[in-house]
Amino acid sequence: MNKFCQSCGMPLEKHQGTETDGTLSNEYCEMCYRDGQFIEPNITFDQMLKRGIDGLNNSQRNLFSKKFMIWGYPYQLKKLARWR
Ligand SMILES: [Zn+2]
């Protein structure tokens, strides 16, 4: 199983999406993928990037770790299966 969602880069553990037969996906999280399909099949790389950064900004982390993660997020996202 992948450690991170291959669409948005968030940790997969306890947040796996579902396949058409109801089993848990080993690739994508519940926010990206449900019943064997992407929830938003037409989302672009830039839209996903913005969403991830907004999510990090709104998270409860300290400022330093937020800045560090926001800095690294575009590089992480580019490596994921969905965006390669
Ligand atoms: Zn995801």
pLDDT tens sequence across 44-69: 999 999 999 999 999 999 999 999 99
Distance 32 CA to ligand 1 centre (A): 4
Alpha-carbon distance of 40 to 38, in angstroms, equals: 5
The Å distance, Cα 49 to ligand 1 centre, comes to 12
What separation in Å is there between the alpha carbon of 30 and the centre of ligand 1?
Answer: 7
**In DSSP terms, which residues pair with 4 in a beta bridge?**
11
Where exactly are the structural domains of the chain? 16-79
Would you state the structure tokens that stand for residue 36, as one six-digit string?
A: 């064997």
Is the pLDDT reported for residue 1 higher than 90?
A: no
In angstroms, the CA 80 to CA 14 distance is 19
23 DSSP assignment = P
Q: Is 50 exposed, middle or buried (CB count within 10 Å of its CB: 0-12, 13-18, 19+)?
A: exposed
**What is the average per-residue pLDDT within 29-39?**
97
In this prediction, residue 7 has a pLDDT band, given cuts at 50, 70 and 90, of: very high
Q: How far is the CA of 20 from the centre of ligand 1 (A)?
A: 17
Average pLDDT over all residues of the chain: 96
Minimal CA–CA distance to 29: which of 9, 48, 41, 12? 12
Ligand 1 centre to CA of 63 (Å) is 23
How many A from CA of 62 to the centre of ligand 1?
23
